[in-house]
Structure 1
């Protein structure tokens, strides 16, 4: 390899379109490139200067070797196809898998930053959720079966990997779906937020993320409307775009609700990033209805010194801490009850604020990098132990 004094690590991340998975991949690269000779396998060339600005990394092609499969002239065309067509997106993913597997044995360790993967040999995989790029063969659609056969995708090889999950909740699903254990390493929160003192914040809730049916934005509105009906003068900022052409109907529903309640609901779509951060910094409370594998937007709320109200099951419970029962709810009725109680009790609010601040370091980039480095070291130690066993016989 390029540097014989370092062990080599090949990291697979199919593409960089923005989001929590990309943040994990980039901070894996940041964590490893000082100690290892790191190569990134991906679909198209990456602009590290742009990604560094988005995710607060300090990467460059001088430190990371990039193996991109797609010629630069075809990048825009491919990205359009990937955005508009699920089958095309998966076809490009499986193309990168095929090429990655061809080179897997050239490296000391292979690392999938994008979920469970057959890499052609055992390696390390970081799972954001289960069955993201594959399904058990009998349950796969015909087109997915064809792609899995094309890439010689094996669940048996996937299950030989050392697994990391983004939450205990995901780790439980990994155990149920694949029959394997996974260590937990929380993703890093990379958003740079200038928090305001509580007294300067707006008496408002933030609901962030895509405005799609799966996020249940209408239930957030139902809850906060009921809270307002009980005499609390609160506002709601909804940030995020819709779900494309297929999600347009739901977005129109939320737009109509926001217009009907325009005195207290503000729907922000396609905000410049700096404007989004200003809204995040000035909201006192957050609310998230969907059960998530992790819930990066909830972790951002925590970093912004909000009091976030979230569902009582799923990965977001691990972000705020199961001990904070005052902000965990199972359904709309309990959500209303919990929010009314907190809003009406100043001492409880201050207690929650101080207690939640203690959890912010759990999602720091420093902690994430330490745990990734420890995982890779542990993996190499296991390889050495296995190699030593035959020599002892």
Structure 2
């Protein structure tokens, strides 16, 4: 039995990354002495039941992250640059983890890439520190950061975190998609052990309604913000209606308070076929997915896209942007992968007007239970841990 510290800065929300963290803990807790290393007390019982389906007691160690001194400089830079001050908090958290690392037989990092003084198992959703250290934008990995202030801010934060690519050569890095693996490989080189292990998605609660009894509508999932391209998604459905299709759209996700959210509110208010659902209970999300025919994923360069897996598991036909994780989930099905608003409308029209195409696509989409089941994920993580301890 090894002493394992699972690193996760803030386990308080309900989301895909939190589900990955708790599933890793669940996979290791019977064979090892597992302790969560965090900066805030976790909402353990509620989260584990909702995201993993298992209620268990989680041992955790809360690190006191004092941002007072370095925060005065980085907070100013973060405010001026428009960056989230949370980045410096995470960087200082990693710095604190580095100091206590020798107390554990193995550390397991479950968010972004880290550089620690001993072999580590990392589950990388995005190689964030590597991107920032290289002067690249996390939201657009192929683009350089043009703002000098942001580059300075990012440099300070990655330095505080101890970012050092050569230190991971004895680590095992698990990534959430082949796309993320390729991106991570670009920064860490050909000699690092990097493997794709798709995150766990629980689909047992989905009981798809028969196709001819479903509503001829669309559902999109994700926080209402520019990166999710909510306005574009509304425009896609609007143009389909202009072409004669009787369809509608449900937008599931936090709307929030921002100029972009205000624009979405205004556009939706003028279109009675758009329903802004906001945050919904899990049962409501499952009902909407299993009773509607189509899904739209708006975010480009998404490393994975758990909602796309849920759409497929619910029996929907989803349309997704080209490149990155969502297209990978659909196994590169060209009929469902769009490059632009116009392309999305054209593809959707070809599907909506032809029942035979609908039936063919539904039967050809990959089985999500095969690649994304929790048991498969737990086995992969446990095997990687045994290689390192």
Fold shared by both chains (TM-score > 0.5): yes
In the alignment, does 2:240 pair up with 1:227? yes
Aligned length: 357
Matched, 1:202 2:215: yes
**CA distance in structure 2 between the aligned counterparts of 1:138 and 1:338, rounded to whole angstroms:** 36
Alpha-carbon offset, residue 153 of structure 1: 3.8
Which of 41, 49, 67 pairs up with 1:45?
Answer: 41
**1:187–1:368 Cα contact (<8 Å) kept:** yes
Provide Cα deviations, 1:121-146, integer angstroms capped at 9, x if missing partner. 22111111122587327787444444
Kindly report the root-mean-square deviation, in angstroms, between the aligned alpha carbons of the 2 structures: 2.6
1:70 positional shift: 4.8
Q: Which moved more, 1:99-108 or 1:144-153?
A: 144-153
Is the alpha carbon distance of 1:260 and 1:137 closer, same or farther for their aligned partners in structure 2, counting shifts above 3 Å?
closer
Aligned CA distance change for structure 1 residues 184 and 317 (closer, same or farther; 3 Å) = same
Specify which of 102, 105, 129 is matched with residue 105 of structure 1.
102
State the distance in 2 between where 1:174 and 1:57 align.
31
Residue 367 (1) aligns with residue 376 (2): yes
* Structure 1 residues 194-343: aligned runs within 5 Å: 194-242=207-255, 244-245=256-257, 248-262=258-272, 264-291=273-300, 292-322=302-332, 324-343=333-352
In the alignment, is the contact (CA less than 8 A) between 1:45 and 1:70 conserved in 2?
Answer: no
Distance in 1 of aligned mates of 2:362 and 2:320: 15
Which residue does the alignment assign to 1:390? Answer: none
Deviation at 1:177, TM superposition (A): 2.9
Question: Which blocks of at least 5 consecutive residues in structure 2 are unaligned?
Answer: 66-74, 137-149
For residue 184 of structure 1, the aligned residue among 192, 196, 200 is 196
Match of 2:323, SS?
A: coil
Q: Deviation digits for residues 200-244 of structure 1, max 9, x if unmatched? A: 3211101110111111122222222222222221111111113x5
Residue 273 (structure 1) shift: 3.7
2:176 aligned partner = 166
Which is worse superposed, 299-308 or 345-354? 345-354
Distance 1:346 1:251 in 2: 35
Partners of 1:8 and 1:38 within 8 A in 2: yes
- TM-aligned CA deviation for residue 376 of structure 1: 1.9
Aligned match of 2:7: 12
Residue of structure 2 in register with 1:118 after alignment: 115
Q: How far apart, in 1, do the equivalents of 2:158 and 2:303 lie?
A: 25
Residues 133, 377 of structure 1: CA spacing in aligned structure 2 closer, same or farther, 3 A cutoff?
same
- Note the alpha carbon deviations across 1:116-173, whole angstroms, 9 max, x for none: 0012222111111122587327787444444444454433324542211100111111
Structure 1: runs of 5+ lacking an equivalent: 1-5, 72-80, 381-393
Report matched runs for 1:129-144 at 5 Å.
129-132=126-129, 135-136=132-133, 141-144=151-154
Alpha-carbon contact 1:302-1:360 (below 8 Å) kept: no
- SS, match of residue 60 in structure 1: coil
Distance of 1:190 and 1:348 partners within structure 2:
28
Cα distance in 1, alignment partners of residues 271 and 7 from structure 2:
46
Shift of 1:193: 3.2
Q: TM-score, normalised by structure 2?
A: 0.84
Shift of residue 370 of structure 1?
1.5
* Contact 2:49 2:55 (C-alpha < 8 Å) held by counterparts: no
SS class of match (1:222): helix
Residue deviations 1:243-282 (CA, integer Å, cap 9, x gap): x55xx111111112211111x1111123344333322222
What is the TM-score with the length of structure 1 in the denominator? Answer: 0.83
Question: Is it true that 1:92 corresponds to 2:89 in the alignment?
Answer: yes
SS of 1:124's equivalent in the other structure is strand
